[in-house]
Amino acid sequence: MKQLIFLFSVLAILSACNKSGGGLQGTKDLATEMDSISYAVGRFFAEQVAATGIDLNAQQMAQGLDDMNQDIENITEEQGMGIMRGFQQAIAMRQGAPFTKEDPAPFSVDSVCYVIGADFARNMKEFDVSLSSAAFLQGSEDFKTEAPSLVGDRQDALMQMLTTKIQEKQNAELAVKAESSIAEGKTFLAEKATEEGVKSTPSGLMYKVLTEGTGAMPVATDNVTVHYEGRLIDGTVFDSSIARGEPASFPLNGVIAGWTEGVQLMKTGAKYQFYIPQDLAYGLQGSPPNIPPGATLIFDVELISIDVDKEQ
C-alpha cells in the first residue's frame, strides 16, 4: 500500500481545495459497519494530524475524501505528494515543537488537510473501499472537540476490520495473478512425481537424494550452515550461496516451511534437491522482485553443519 497517510507537506496553497462543493455535515447515525469504520478512521486521522501540532480542519479533510469518492480530482496525485513531502520536511525541522498563534504553520493547513482526505480516498479506491464522508467528518470533529466516541472501545477493532478488508482484496488480486504459476507448478510436480528417485512427504514436499550424508540430522530449532541454489521451474536462478562463494547460516525454523521440513530429512554432509510447492514456499505473496506469486521452487541444498547456539 502506498505511503499516503503521513507524507505531509508545506510548499503550496491549493486554491482548488476551496472550489469543492463544501457544506459537508457530520452524522451520528452509524447505521452500517462501514459507517462505523469511517467514523473510526476519521478519529484516527484527526489524532495523527493533531500530533503534528497543527490545528486540524476536519471539514477540509472530509471534503477531500468526499470529492475523491465522487471522482472530483481537484489535485493530482503528484501534486498531493509534493504537498505532503514539503509538510513532512517542515514538521521534521521543528523537532516536535508545536505551531502556535505566535509561530504559525508556514503552509496552508486547509490544503494539507484536504490532501490527506483526498489521498486516502484515492488509495482506498484501489481496494474497492468507499468510506462515508459524513461519518468520517463526525469522527474527526468528535476527536478534535474531545466528544465521547460513538464507537466506544471498538476503535481498534474497527481499524483492524478495515485492514482485513484491504488484505482480502489484495489476496484476491494476488490469487488471480498466481493462477497460472500455481497451475504450472502443479503440472511440474506431477511430472516430477513419476521420476525415479523422487520422494514426497504428506505435506506435498518432494525431494531427491543427490548424495546421502553420514552425520547428525537437525531439528527445527537448530541453526544450520548450508550451501544452496534456488531456481524457478523455468530454470531461473533467484538466489545462490554457491554463486556467492559463501555458505549461509540461519535458524531452521526461520525460513520457508519447505526448507524447515526438508532440511530435517537430511544428514550432515548430504545433498538433496527439493521441489517445493507454493504453499510451502512464498505462497500467493511471492517474494518480489524475483519470486512471483504462487511459484513452485527448486532448491539444491548441501547440509554442511548443525551449529551450536553460541548463546547457550
* 60-81 confidence digits (pLDDT tens): 999 999 999 999 988 888 888 8
Instruction: Compute the CA torsion angle 212, 217, 220, 225 (nearest 10 deg).
Output: -70
pLDDT of 95 above 80: no
Which structural domain range is residue 235 located in? 180-307
Is 245 contained in some domain? Answer: yes
What are the cell numbers at 206? 518432494
For residue 7, the model assigns a pLDDT of 33
What are the cell numbers at 149? 466516541
Catalytic residue among 238, 279, 300, 307, which? 238
Is 236 contained in some domain? Answer: yes
Is 174 contained in some domain? Answer: no
Catalytic residue among 127, 242, 256, 279, which? 256
Catalytic residue among 44, 274, 275, 299, which? 299
More confident residue, 90 or 218: 218
The reply to whether 120 belongs to the active site is no
What are the cell numbers at 32? 452500517
**Within this chain, do residues 142 and 19 fall inside the same structural domain, yes or no?**
yes
Amino acid, single-letter form, for residue 45: F
Domain end position, chosen among 150, 167, 191: 150
What are the cell numbers at 201? 512427504
More confident residue, 96 or 272: 272
Domain end position, chosen among 130, 150, 170: 150
DSSP H/E element including 223: strand 223-232
What is the chain's percent helix, strand, coil content, to nearest 5? 45, 15, 40
Is 160 contained in some domain? Answer: no
Q: What is the mean pLDDT of residues 250-259?
A: 96
Number of DSSP helices (H) and strands (E) in the chain, helices first? 8, 7
Catalytic residue among 39, 44, 107, 228, which? 228
Cα–Cα distance measured from residue 159 to residue 157, given in angstroms and rounded to the nearest whole number: 5
**Within this chain, do residues 271 and 200 fall inside the same structural domain, yes or no?**
yes
Catalytic residue among 45, 120, 143, 282, which? 282
- End-to-end, the C-alpha distance of the chain in Å comes to 41
The reply to whether 299 belongs to the active site is yes
pLDDT tens string 198-221: 999 999 999 999 999 999 999 999
The reply to whether 110 belongs to the active site is no
**Within this chain, do residues 211 and 264 fall inside the same structural domain, yes or no?**
yes
Phi, psi of 197 (to 5 degrees): 90, -10
Is 46 contained in some domain? Answer: yes
More confident residue, 5 or 268: 268
Is 158 contained in some domain? Answer: no
The reply to whether 6 belongs to the active site is no
* pTM of the complete model: 0.63
**Within this chain, do residues 232 and 129 fall inside the same structural domain, yes or no?**
no
Is 9 contained in some domain? Answer: no
Q: Which CATH number characterizes residue 297's domain? A: 3.10.50.40
Domain end position, chosen among 102, 131, 150: 150
Q: What band does 106 get if pLDDT is binned at 50, 70 and 90?
A: confident
**Within this chain, do residues 19 and 146 fall inside the same structural domain, yes or no?**
yes
The reply to whether 279 belongs to the active site is no
Kindly give the residue spans of alpha helices, DSSP state H, lying in 236-299.
Answer: 241-244, 257-263
Is 161 contained in some domain? Answer: no
Beta-strand (E) ranges in 97-222? Answer: 198-200, 206-211
The reply to whether 282 belongs to the active site is yes
**Within this chain, do residues 279 and 184 fall inside the same structural domain, yes or no?**
yes
For residue 278, the model assigns a pLDDT of 96
Catalytic residue among 13, 55, 72, 239, which? 239
Counted domains in the chain: 2
pLDDT of 10 above 50: no
